[in-house]
Structure 1
Amino acid sequence: MAMLDIALIGANEKRLDLVGRNAGRQGVILAAGQLKGIYGAPILGDWRRAARQRGGTFKGRNYAWRDLALGMHLFGDDNPNGIEWLDSLLDQMITDTPDEWDPNEQLARLVIKSKRDTRRLFIQRHDDTDFDPEFDPTMEDEQYENPIYKVRAGMPFWEGREKLTFFEGSGTSGSGFIEVSNPSPLVMFQAWSLTRAQWNIPDPSWIGPKGRRVPGGEFGNRVVELLPIDSAHAGARINYDPMRLMLESWSGTNLLGENGGRDFFMHKIPPYTPKTLLPISYTGAPSGVGARAELRQPRLWPKPWGGELI
């Protein structure tokens, strides 16, 4: 019988198996009834009402950060280092702020493996930990704690396995197709990584019902013609995420101005878009090297499991 595996990966890269096949092997498990906030992402609906309108009109939705509670049982007798070590370990795993002296540190993340996918959620402490012991937890005959960590996920969506597709050619020019899809119920912010060349990047608008979307509408054949990416840039990235530079070199230099005032990139991939081949081409690649375009397609989900179109 299949079951969920839930693990906590700390900011210090330590791992605790909290639920599932290996649960408790480090002396920590999730407490029944003390896990809150992992399921649906918080939705902020925007509704308006005219002066004489009956009811209201839906205008859109936004998502706030996600707050969670993680209650855990710590059993010092099940870990050779004891309860105090486990207590310190969790504090160092679930930090309240990134380490400003360690640029490579990541926040703690919950990782949930289900039958179909593995998804993760980055978290940090945002409030005091609830812990009101009725006895001394460090006593030799007890060695037990039940803290409840109050954590926040700035990105409220669970990250699934990222999809990577690519197009490449060995000549100074080339053309072909690249595959794109989006199986999740959320709009996808795709990202391109391009080597040196002058690229024609597909940026179509989409139309059609869930599961049968196709390039179409006003900009169904839209292609953005980039200026040459030269050796000074090394390569370029295109980011549809509005919190990042839209067009940048591999070193992080803003290239949008250098692109001669050409069109911006407009069209993200809609929810429930089936596998679709989009045309792509390039010219002016280095002789004997060719060129390569990678399309990174993040998979974000409101819930830690499920959500696929049925």
Structure 2
Amino acid sequence: MGGDAAGAAPAREDLDAAVNIPEATRILIEGAGGQRLTVAGPGAGTDGVVLADVDSGTQFEDFFEAPTTTIWNATAYQIGADFGGAREEKFDFTLAFHILATPTLSWRGVYERFRLAFSFKRDCGLRAEVGDSSRLLTVRLGAKPAVKVTGDPNTDGYALVVVPLVGAYPRWCEPDVVSQFVTTTDTTAGGTESGWVTVSNPLPVDYEIWPRWIVQGGKGIVWTIPDFSWGSDEFERAEIDRDRKFVLPPLLEGEHVVIDTDPLTRFGQGNSSIDTGFPARMGGHRFCYPLPGGTAETKVPVSVTGAPVGAGVQVRCPRPWPRPWGGLD
């Protein structure tokens, strides 16, 4: 192609105009003791703490995306290998901070407040805000912070502090997205009431989520909630289980139940508010399927029998993003 067909690259100012106003990234520390320090973006430095750059010790690449390795399996004489899965490791990184005295607080006062924000034994958080997105990475100290000085920081009003951090759960989390159904018909004398709740998973395709269900009511209420395969052939039942539903055991008097469908959850898939051994009442049945990444908002059916007016079921779809921003477009 010749002439002006290919065209020249657009000028930078034209690109800036095309995307309107740039979005600023704001990074905050949410301390173990309730501190809230803005360290980057609008408002940074107000509290005497500013996130330093890569050359000063901030390992940006080590907390930007969940550290993942893939597993490949092969027989002795196989050509190539077969994909066996992916493993996410914990975040393990350092952040460097400029610690400065402020007009209202001495350097040692600023440092003390900053240092108390981090703990070996208690969770604190890094929050990333861009536009209408706000995501939190939960971290703890991985080792003692290193204070880098060339003189007296109390006199100079300055020091560089490098903080080793560990994020045991390597995800930047937004609040759960919640949908619920509340009964409007009395079925205590018989019959069934059906309704809908909405689920979704906008995370990238590699990142599934496990919804959590909360059911409440009274004695004898039986809820039926979905456990669709969503096309997963993990158990070679993608078509058989495409409309799979799970009938929960009847509730007891005053009982509310939280169902975490994640098979790896530490506390079991079913937890009763009155500690009745709900998993045993499930009769060995388990939820099997996650909600795959890239699932648009979808209505799924729920039903109940033996319930008065006002009984409810709630589904909570977590938002554990692998990155501090992005993935919404």
Same fold flag (TM > 0.5)? yes
Answering whether residue 313 of structure 2 is matched by residue 290 of structure 1, we say: no
Which residue number corresponds to residue 67 of structure 1?
92
RMSD: 1.8
Gaps of 5+ in 2: 1-21, 188-192
TM-score (norm 2): 0.83
SS at match of 2:281: helix
Letter in 1 for 2:111: D
The higher radius of gyration belongs to: 2
TM-score (norm 1): 0.88
Letter in 2 for 1:247: G
Gaps of 5+ in 1: 99-106, 209-214
Cα contact 2:224–2:247 (8 A) shared by 1: yes
Q: Percent identity?
A: 26
Answering whether residue 185 of structure 2 is matched by residue 168 of structure 1, we say: no
Return the alpha-carbon distance in structure 2 between the equivalents of residues 182 and 79 of structure 1: 46
Query: Alpha-carbon deviation of 1:159?
Result: 0.3
Return the alpha-carbon distance in structure 1 between the equivalents of residues 184 and 81 of structure 2: 57
Cα contact 2:148–2:159 (8 A) shared by 1: no
Cα deviation code 1:8-52 (max 9, x no counterpart): 110111110011111111111101213222211110211123222
Which residue number corresponds to residue 48 of structure 2?
27
Query: Alpha-carbon deviation of 1:207?
Result: 2.0
Task: Give the number of equivalent residue pairs.
Answer: 288
Query: Alpha-carbon deviation of 1:127?
Result: 1.2
Answering whether residue 72 of structure 2 is matched by residue 55 of structure 1, we say: no
1:179 aligned to which of 184, 198, 201: 198
Cα contact 1:71–1:147 (8 A) shared by 2: yes
Query: Alpha-carbon deviation of 1:57?
Result: 2.3
Return the alpha-carbon distance in structure 2 between the equivalents of residues 97 and 12 of structure 1: 12
SS at match of 1:229: coil
The structure 1 segments of at least 4 consecutive aligned residues displaced by more than 4 Å after TM superposition are none
Query: Alpha-carbon deviation of 1:58?
Result: 1.8
Cα deviation code 1:167-191 (max 9, x no counterpart): 1113233211111110002110210
Letter in 2 for 1:164: V
Which residue number corresponds to residue 169 of structure 2?
155
Which residue number corresponds to residue 236 of structure 1?
257
2:213 aligned to which of 185, 192, 203: 192
Letter in 1 for 2:96: G
SS at match of 1:88: helix
